[in-house]
């Protein structure tokens, strides 16, 4: 990690002021676990939290995927930013000024992203001013009032309006210094085609015209895109920004940046389909709500959700399309570690109209009574067999069994099987007998037919591979990083004692950070270690892991003696190989010398205590 020309005292100021818990909490829901905090890792999928943050050491480590570091490395990895940019962001958060002469030049890609963020912020301000203008915003204001959106809520969500002109935004933002190319890259303008020209647009026209505008934010609350709802008649009714360097519809959720605090408190996030649905629920006091952006839920969405909650409530329209949308999510959520319920609204209602008509309390009751996603899917399949025809019943049985095989929760599977048997009037044992037949058939048809691939042994983690076969090196470095070695014990250490490269490197760094008494200065050691690619992962893991020893000092002594014995055995083996080669080649004098060394080492080994 290059620090470029950023002064060391500036970095130290940021380290002193930046709280890694606050920074990580912007992206991961954390809960207390002893002296540390835990959450689901944002860098890989997991069901059980293994992502650990230490407030005392200002470090993080995932014991699942092995990623670790400090507040700088966390932001760099999760935002995809370089070191200077991360320092600037943390400087902004902590109030530390980064001298301009030391900033260096950001990468071209980062410069473009920063410019697009500024462009979107300017566009959001322009749309907002239009809504507040008595003339330009009259129709949109009336429409929002009709939809039950208060002026205060409109301000909270930054709602605006795009006028009907073809190039209003283009004219407004080019006056502020933005180029036509930047507006096109940002998805705010579209190249003209034949028959839709306007000389004033200079080759482009506004993408959003005559629409209520919804700024879309990322988790940092930066505007990254827009959605627009047509005023009056016209198609499409809703229009979103295209994918840009800042925005991907298949990854983002509207209002998640506002919902995540409430979602973290309740461990539940409600997912709706539209902007107004989300806003109406927030306005009613139900704050743990986010909306999809005109797409079905994706695996990227599920990975995002797992960072914040373990329970999700799907709130889709009660029509056939809404039912299909809910059913499509079954594969995404199965064995994801997220419990999913499906709220079905009364016929003809959507979340927006329901919450305005019935209020928040009735919605909460619907949510409490909602079935699980698996129950919802099974019930839907049962309804398809309502005709009573044997073909429909067989088809329904097979569909339900395929649904049930998607869960590894044995009790839930058994309970669903019992209910299905009762509903279809089929003996439960017959249903159970049918299950392996269906699984075998799907396996023969291959994974594309729903069959599961053969199980594979869980691979060793990167950390397991690095430290396998060297428990004494692991324990000794662990105790070193926890400040348990005395100055005398530190003096006994040499990097050559260690065979694991990461442990050897950590000891090299430790011997460079000693106080006057010869003890290791832990904080400076860790500051250097977490940015060293040769030992960062092992440093964060061993520093944040908890191992208990009956007698720490005795264990340290045993580790050192074991390592010295192993080093002696290795040296002895190498000497014996050299001795045999010298004897075979007739190098008598060299053989005599090597034989004396072998005997000395054997005597030393025989007299050394065993571990």
Q: pLDDT averaged over the chain?
A: 82
What would the mean pLDDT of 590-609 be, rounded to a whole number? 74
Dist CA 599 CA 209 (whole Å): 91
CA dihedral (206, 210, 212, 213) in degrees, to 10, reads: 0
- C-alpha distance from residue 588 to each of 566, 581, 599 (Å): 29, 11, 16
pLDDT band at residue 490 using 50, 70 and 90 as cut-offs: very high
How far is 463 from 538, CA to CA, in rounded Å? 7
Taking 80 as the threshold, does the pLDDT of residue 396 lie above it? Answer: no
pLDDT at 75 over 50: yes
The class level of CATH for 109-240 reads: alpha beta
Query: What's the half-sphere exposure (Cβ side, CA atoms, 13 Å) at 224?
Result: 21
Q: Structural domain boundaries of the chain?
A: 8-106, 109-240, 256-370, 378-449, 467-605
| Helix (H/G/I), strand (E/B), else coil: 239 | strand
pLDDT of residue 318: 60
Query: What superfamily would CATH give domain 8-106?
Result: Zinc finger, CHC2-typedomain (3.90.580.10)
User: Would you say 480 and 518 are in contact if contact means Cβ atoms under 8 Å apart?
Assistant: no
Residue 455 pLDDT level (bands cut at 50, 70, 90): very low
Q: What pLDDT is stored for residue 1 in this prediction?
A: 46
Angle, vertex CA 132, rays to CA 129 and CA 135, nearest 5: 105
Higher per-residue confidence, 602 vs 134: 134
Is 199 a residue whose pLDDT tops 70? no
**Sign of the torsion formed by the C-alpha atoms of 460, 463, 464 and 469:** positive
Instruction: Tell me how far apart the alpha carbons of residues 424 and 382 are, in angstroms, rounded to a whole number.
Output: 8
Average pLDDT of the residues in 574-578: 81
**How far is the C-alpha of 386 from the C-alpha of 388, rounded, in Å?**
5
Q: Report pLDDT digits (tens) over 274-302.
A: 899 999 999 999 999 999 998 888 888 88
The residues, ordered by sequence, that sit 6+ positions from 252 with a Cβ below 8 Å of its Cβ are 216, 218, 224, 225, 293
Q: How many CB atoms lie within 10 A of CB 108?
A: 8
In the chain, what's the furthest Cα-to-Cα distance? 106
pLDDT at 193: 65
User: Across-strand partners of 268?
Assistant: 311
Q: Cα dihedral sign for 527, 530, 531, 532?
A: positive
End-to-end CA gap in the chain? 40
Residues ≥6 apart with Cβ < 8 Å to 32: none
Contact 38, 30 (CB under 8 A): yes
Assess contact for 211 and 187: CB atoms under 8 A: no
Higher pLDDT: 149 or 356? It is: 149
Instruction: Express each pLDDT in 136-157 by its tens digit.
Output: 999 999 999 999 999 999 999 9
Rg (CA), the chain: 32
Q: Is residue 460 pLDDT above 70, yes or no?
A: no
Strand partners, 60: 53, 69
Q: What confidence score (pLDDT) does residue 216 get?
A: 97
449: pLDDT strictly greater than 60: no
Taking the CA of residue 419 as centre, how many other CA atoms within 13 Å lie in the half-sphere pointing to its CB?
15
Indicate the CATH number for domain 256-370.
3.40.1360.10
Q: How many CA within 13 A on the CB side of residue 146?
A: 9
Q: How does strand 268-272 pair with strand 311-316?
A: parallel
- Give the number of other Cβ atoms within 10 Å of residue 187's Cβ: 24
Per-residue pLDDT tens for 543-573?
Answer: 998 888 888 899 999 888 888 888 787 777 7
Cis preceding linkage at 18, omega within 30? no
The predicted structure's pLDDT at residue 331: 75
Q: What is the β-pairing status of strands 211-217 and 289-291?
A: unpaired
Q: Are the C-beta atoms of 461 and 66 separated by less than 8 Å? A: yes
**3-state percent breakdown (helix, strand, coil) of the chain, nearest 5:** 55, 10, 35
Return the percentage of the chain with pLDDT > 70, whole number: 83
CA-nearest of 349, 348, 256 to 308 is 256
pLDDT at 413: 73
Task: Please tell me if the domain spanning 8-106 has the same topology as the one spanning 467-605.
Answer: no
d(CA 373, CA 336) in angstroms, rounded, equals: 13
pLDDT tens for 400-438 read 777 677 666 677 677 777 877 777 677 777 777 776 666
Over residues 210-233, mean pLDDT: 93
Residue 452's pLDDT is 39
For helices 501-510 and 471-481, the axis angle rounded to 10 degrees is 30
Residue 100 has pLDDT above 70, yes or no: no
Is 467's pLDDT higher than 70?
no
**Triad 39, 40, 42: Cα angle to 5°:** 115
For 157-184, write each residue's pLDDT tens digit.
999 999 999 999 999 999 999 999 999 9
Segment 201-210 shows an average pLDDT of 84
At 162 the pLDDT is 96
**DSSP string covering 157-210, please?**
TT-EEE-SSSSHHHHHHHTTT--HHHHHHTTSEEE--TT---GGGTTEEES--S
pLDDT digits (tens, 9 = 90+) for 236-264: 999 999 999 899 888 889 999 999 888 88
Q: Could you tell me what percent of the chain has a pLDDT over 90?
A: 34
- In the DSSP assignment, the letter for residue 243 is P
Please give the pLDDT value at position 347.
77
Supply the pLDDT for residue 300.
83
Query: 467-605 domain in CATH 1.10.860?
Result: yes
**pLDDT(450) > 90:** no
Model confidence at 195, pLDDT cuts 50, 70, 90, reads very low
DSSP code for 520:
B
């Amino acid at each position: 990690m290059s620090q470029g020309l950023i002064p060391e005292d500036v970095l130290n100021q940021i380290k002193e002021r930046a709280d890694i818990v606050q920074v990580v909490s912007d992206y991961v829901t954390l809960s207390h676990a002893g002296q540390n905090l835990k959450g689901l890792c944002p860098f890989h999928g997991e069901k059980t939290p293994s992502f650990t943050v230490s407030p005392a050491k200002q470090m993080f480590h995932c014991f699942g995927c092995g990623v670790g570091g400090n507040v700088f490395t966390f932001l760099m990895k999760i935002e995809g930013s370089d070191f200077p940019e991360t320092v600037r962001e943390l400087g902004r958060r902590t109030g530390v000024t980064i001298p301009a002469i030391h900033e260096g030049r950001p990468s071209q890609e980062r410069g473009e992203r920063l410019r697009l963020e500024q462009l979107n912020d300017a566009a959001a301000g322009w749309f907002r001013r239009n809504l507040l203008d008595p003339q330009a915003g009259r129709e949109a204001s009336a429409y929002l009032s009709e939809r039950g959106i208060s002026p205060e809520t409109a301000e909270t969500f930054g709602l605006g309006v795009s006028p009907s002109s073809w190039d209003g935004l283009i004219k407004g933002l080019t006056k502020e210094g933005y180029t036509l190319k930047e507006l096109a890259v940002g998805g705010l303008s579209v190249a003209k085609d034949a028959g839709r020209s306007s000389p004033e647009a200079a080759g482009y026209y506004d993408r959003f015209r005559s629409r209520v505008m919804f700024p879309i934010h990322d988790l940092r609350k930066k505007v990254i895109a827009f959605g627009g709802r047509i005023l009056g008649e016209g198609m499409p009714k809703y229009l979103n920004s295209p994918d840009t360097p800042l925005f991907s519809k298949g990854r983002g959720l509207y209002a998640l940046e506002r919902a995540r605090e409430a979602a973290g408190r309740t461990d539940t996030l409600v997912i709706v389909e539209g902007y107004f649905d989300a806003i109406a629920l927030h306005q009613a006091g139900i704050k743990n709500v986010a909306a999809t952006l005109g797409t079905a839920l994706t695996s990227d969405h599920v990975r995002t959700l797992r960072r914040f909650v373990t329970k999700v409530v799907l709130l889709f329209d009660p029509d056939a399309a809404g039912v299909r949308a809910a059913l499509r999510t079954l594969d995404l959520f199965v064995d994801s570690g997220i419990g999913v319920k499906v709220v079905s609204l009364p016929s003809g209602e959507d979340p927006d109209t329901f919450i305005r008509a019935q209020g928040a309390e009735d919605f909460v009751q619907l949510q409490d009574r909602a079935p699980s996603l698996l129950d919802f899917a099974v019930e839907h399949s049962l309804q398809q067999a309502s005709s009573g025809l044997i073909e429909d019943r067989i088809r329904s049985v097979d569909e339900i069994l395929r649904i049930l095989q998607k869960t590894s929760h044995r009790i839930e599977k058994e309970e669903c099987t019992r209910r299905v048997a009762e509903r279809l009037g089929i003996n439960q044992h017959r249903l159970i007998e049918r299950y392996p037949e269906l699984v075998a058939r799907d396996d023969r048809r291959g994974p594309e037919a729903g069959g599961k691939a053969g199980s594979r042994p869980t691979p060793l983690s990167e950390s397991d591979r690095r430290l396998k076969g060297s428990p004494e090196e692991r324990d000794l470095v662990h105790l070193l990083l926890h400040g348990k070695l005395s100055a005398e014990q530190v003096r006994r250490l040499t990097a050559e004692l260690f065979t694991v490269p990461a442990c050897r490197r950590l000891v090299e760094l430790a011997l460079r950070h000693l106080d006057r008494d010869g003890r290791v200065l832990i904080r400076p050691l860790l500051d250097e270690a977490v940015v060293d690619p040769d030992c960062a992962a092992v440093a964060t893991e061993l520093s944040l892991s908890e191992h208990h020893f009956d007698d720490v000092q005795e264990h340290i002594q045993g580790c050192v003696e074991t390592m010295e014995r192993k080093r002696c055995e290795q040296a002895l083996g190498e000497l014996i190989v050299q001795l045999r080669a010298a004897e075979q080649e007739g190098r008598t004098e060299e053989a005599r010398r090597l034989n004396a060394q072998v005997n000395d080492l054997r005597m030393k080994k025989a007299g050394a205590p065993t571990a």
